[in-house]
Amino acid sequence: MPKKITSHKNLSIRWRTDANCFQLDLRTIGGKRENFDTKVEASQHAKEMFEIFESGKLATKIKPWTVEKGIAQYLEHSKRRSEDPDSDYSPSSLTNQRCHLNNCTTSLLLTVWHWPRRTWPTLMSILLNRTSSPP
């Protein structure tokens, strides 16, 4: 039978000689093993994580994500990669990626054809504005 966790003191903190650090084991409350330089830091983190576990609130805040933001970040990464002289990724590859993403968005428009008509104007304006000017 698993150990009942009633306090942050029930969470295991041990010294790891191979890593030269203290390791806090949060697996019993749904976390992972985390390393700290001092036992005080590990104990403080254990208190914080136990409070989150006990109250049932989310440990990490989930930020909203959009397709446009994902595409913009991907193209930004691709641009940095094309500017790297050691990379085999050239500026023409970046242009190909932009064209490919625009084509994917256009094919999404064709898929949307089967959606209810009331959603068309909003969705079409969003997608057409995004594809008309490359980032």
Secondary structure (3-state) at 11: coil
Q: What are phi and psi of 35, to 5 degrees?
A: -100, 145
In a 10 Å sphere around its CB, with 0-12 CB exposed, 13-18 middle and 19+ buried, how is residue 3 labelled? exposed
Residue 64 DSSP label? P
Cα-to-chain-centroid distance, residue 32: 17
pLDDT number for residue 83:
81
Q: Which residues contact 87 (CB under 8 A, 6 or more apart)?
A: 81
pLDDT number for residue 1:
38
pLDDT number for residue 132:
44
pLDDT number for residue 105:
59
pLDDT < 70 positions in the chain: 1-3, 58-65, 67, 100-120, 123-124, 126-135
Q: Say which residue the tokens 């966790």 belong to.
A: 5
pLDDT number for residue 129:
66
pLDDT number for residue 133:
44
Q: Which residues contact 15 (CB under 8 A, 6 or more apart)?
A: 21, 22, 23
Angle at 34 between CA 32 and CA 39, to 5 degrees: 135
